[in-house]
Structure 1
Amino acid sequence: MKTKVFLVGSEDEKIRLDVFLCSRLPHKSRNYVQNLIEDKRVKVNESIKKSSYKVTCEDNITVTIPDPVETSIKGENIPIDVLYEDGDVIVVNKPQGMIVHPAPGVYTGTLVNALLYHCGDLSGINGVMRPGIVHRIDKDTSGVLVAAKNDFAHNKLAEQLKTHSMTREYIALVEGVLKEDSGTIDKPIARHPRDKIKMAVVSGGKRAVTHYRVIKRFKNNTLIKCILETGRTHQIRVHMAYIGHPLVGDPVYGYRKQRFNLNGQLLHAKKLGFIHPSTGKYIEFEADIPDYFKRVIDIVDSKN
């Protein structure tokens, strides 16, 4: 068990407690930090606070980090929307709010837990925490995702990701009205230099390319299709915020004042296509946007 002590400076005034700790514990996820707070392992001036507490200058924050434990990820009977399944792959429509794979402090309730229960076994290339996971989508992003049931399939799919031959098409609702009907954002992405829980366009980061096309314009918003050429963390969210059109509902890169009482960004992985590892044939899957997404589209459309 380790204890870490942090003193809040004036530059961090009024930042949420969990956000502040994520910036000081860069290798820990926000869920992990929030669990520490809920477990009363975090004290602010010797008092227990909630994750939403806004830190103030000269706050003394003590964090007790438990020793790591050997963990085996277990299958859980969690309902999943299976779009396709065979001996090599399983394609699912992931709901908003579900984490793709376990991480330190989060060992249950993930898509991997659900897949292990459903399939019995997955590829082992990514280790015990991420079995079968070839690519990820954010917790609060919904849509189509493929997992590999064996190492052969995993390698074949990973190679398609590496060569950018996998089709990945997203639907997003962004703030503001895009003037151009289509465009390409080719800007490198890396960890934000000051806020470790965020990604950002950073010179010297990894190349990231997002193609977008307008589906429909509204009074204050635009519905767009995004096609990923690369797959960096938070890529669409970062790129659209960079050009001044953050995703509606995005709690990290979007507007501080949210209008629609959402649980996260309006981003949906609508289409996924790839060459099947065994048959060599191209297959493609689609999932319709979820109801909460449709509800917001109806609202903004009614104001046109």
Structure 2
Amino acid sequence: MGLFSAALTKSALKKAIKKRYITINGIAATTATFIQGGERISLYIPEETTASKTLIFPLKVLFEDDYLAIIHKPGGILVSGNSFKTIANALTQNLSPSTLPDATKPQPVHRLDYATTGILLAGKTSSSIRALNKMFEDKKVAKTYYAVTIGTMDVEGEISTTIDDKPSYSMYTVITSAPSKRFGTLNLVQLDPKTGRRHQLRKHLSSIGNPILGDKEYGTASLILNGKGMYLHAYSLQFVHPFTKKEIILRDDFPERFKKLFPIDTLIK
């Protein structure tokens, strides 16, 4: 039981089997191996012997303890993936090692798009990563975003569509609007996603004719903004810490480009 509780995910177990790190009675296991009961199952991961590059990428840490960390994600970097420059690869150098027995390499437990800025949650132990992933699955983490959108909007509304054959829901509230010579109207919008589909907020706002300023993928071709980034910011996270049971409410300050468009400090408290 200890072997499997130490594994982060099913995919991690599959990778370990594929790399022949798991043996049953001394013989390398496969995904077709059938367990009768009473076998000796071993997990052995060899130490890295080849030199690897180290990503030097300072991150702003908003909160950290032995279980988890919350950081600010800048725009223009992937959270994870096969690229060398990712938030996942930069976490170790920016966070203090956990002192707990199941400490592991810090791992983001949700995603923000490449161009999105804002608050990001990572686990520092195997049990914390599993618990946080479960909390996201069970919708026990409240996320609030802000975006700058183009065009006239209702003051508030709910957007409900199907994304990747799955239902998706987002709530929005227009905080303020301002006339724009180029874009007609720009809005500062609070967004509360109730599901977590890929590109959900971007797709939802585009579907009602109010794309996010700077969104090159879902925006209107004639209104594409180059060189300023996308105006979507993950502002806050709220959840109950899975181990200390304390309520965590954290906010991440707006990028300067938002403040140049709207008096953020007087609008958002």
Fold conserved between structures, TM > 0.5: yes
Q: If each structure's strand is expressed as a fraction of its own residues, which one has the higher value?
A: 2
User: Could you say which residue in structure 2 is the equivalent of 1:96?
Assistant: 75
Provide the rounded CA distance (Å) in 2 between the counterparts of 1:269 and 1:73.
32
Structure 1's 243 and 158: CA in aligned 2 closer, same or farther, altered over 3 A? same
The alpha-carbon deviation at position 72 of structure 1 amounts to 9.4
The alpha-carbon deviation at position 188 of structure 1 amounts to 1.2
Please tell me the residue identity of whatever aligns with 1:270: Y
Please tell me the residue identity of whatever aligns with 2:78: I
User: Could you say which residue in structure 2 is the equivalent of 1:112?
Assistant: 88
1:147 lines up with 2:122 in the alignment: yes
Structure 1's 74 and 166: CA in aligned 2 closer, same or farther, altered over 3 A? farther
Contact 2:108 2:120 in 1 (8 A): no
- The gaps in structure 2 that reach 5 residues or longer are 1-49, 99-103, 180-184, 264-269
Structure 1's 206 and 73: CA in aligned 2 closer, same or farther, altered over 3 A? farther
1:212 lines up with 2:176 in the alignment: no
Alignment of 1:127-166 (within 5 A): 132-166=107-141
User: Could you say which residue in structure 2 is the equivalent of 1:171?
Assistant: 146
The alpha-carbon deviation at position 77 of structure 1 amounts to 2.6
Provide the rounded CA distance (Å) in 2 between the counterparts of 1:79 and 1:183.
38
The alpha-carbon deviation at position 264 of structure 1 amounts to 3.0
Provide the rounded CA distance (Å) in 2 between the counterparts of 1:259 and 1:235.
19
Choose from 148, 157, 170 the match for 1:183: 157
The alpha-carbon deviation at position 74 of structure 1 amounts to 6.0
Give SS of 1:257's match. helix
- The gaps in structure 1 that reach 5 residues or longer are 1-70, 191-204, 299-304
Give SS of 2:120's match. strand
Provide the rounded CA distance (Å) in 1 between the counterparts of 2:53 and 2:262.
38
Structure 1's 176 and 84: CA in aligned 2 closer, same or farther, altered over 3 A? same
Q: After superposition, give the CA deviation of every residue in 1:100-157 in whole Å (9 maximum; x if it has no partner).
A: 1132xx22x21112102223769xxxx99xx612101001000001100011111221
Provide the rounded CA distance (Å) in 2 between the counterparts of 1:72 and 1:188.
45
User: Could you say which residue in structure 1 is the equivalent of 2:234?
Assistant: 269
Contact 2:66 2:97 in 1 (8 A): no
Please tell me the residue identity of whatever aligns with 2:176: K
Aligned-CA RMSD value: 2.6
Contact 1:74 1:113 in 2 (8 A): no
The total of aligned residue pairs comes to 206
The alpha-carbon deviation at position 92 of structure 1 amounts to 0.5
1:232 lines up with 2:197 in the alignment: yes
Give SS of 1:78's match. coil
Provide the rounded CA distance (Å) in 2 between the counterparts of 1:290 and 1:153.
29
Structure 1's 74 and 285: CA in aligned 2 closer, same or farther, altered over 3 A? farther
The alpha-carbon deviation at position 174 of structure 1 amounts to 0.5
Give SS of 2:234's match. strand
Provide the rounded CA distance (Å) in 1 between the counterparts of 2:136 and 2:261.
32
Provide the rounded CA distance (Å) in 1 between the counterparts of 2:242 and 2:53.
26
Provide the rounded CA distance (Å) in 2 between the counterparts of 1:261 and 1:74.
32
The alpha-carbon deviation at position 73 of structure 1 amounts to 7.8
Give SS of 1:226's match. strand
Structure 1's 259 and 237: CA in aligned 2 closer, same or farther, altered over 3 A? closer
Please tell me the residue identity of whatever aligns with 2:118: G
1:255 lines up with 2:217 in the alignment: no
TM-score of the pair, normalised by structure 1:
0.62
Q: After superposition, give the CA deviation of every residue in 1:62-111 in whole Å (9 maximum; x if it has no partner).
A: xxxxxxxxx998652311010001101110011111211132xx22x211
Give SS of 2:221's match. coil
Provide the rounded CA distance (Å) in 2 between the counterparts of 1:120 and 1:90.
9
The alpha-carbon deviation at position 239 of structure 1 amounts to 0.4
Structure 1's 121 and 102: CA in aligned 2 closer, same or farther, altered over 3 A? farther
Please tell me the residue identity of whatever aligns with 1:282: E
Provide the rounded CA distance (Å) in 2 between the counterparts of 1:77 and 1:280.
34
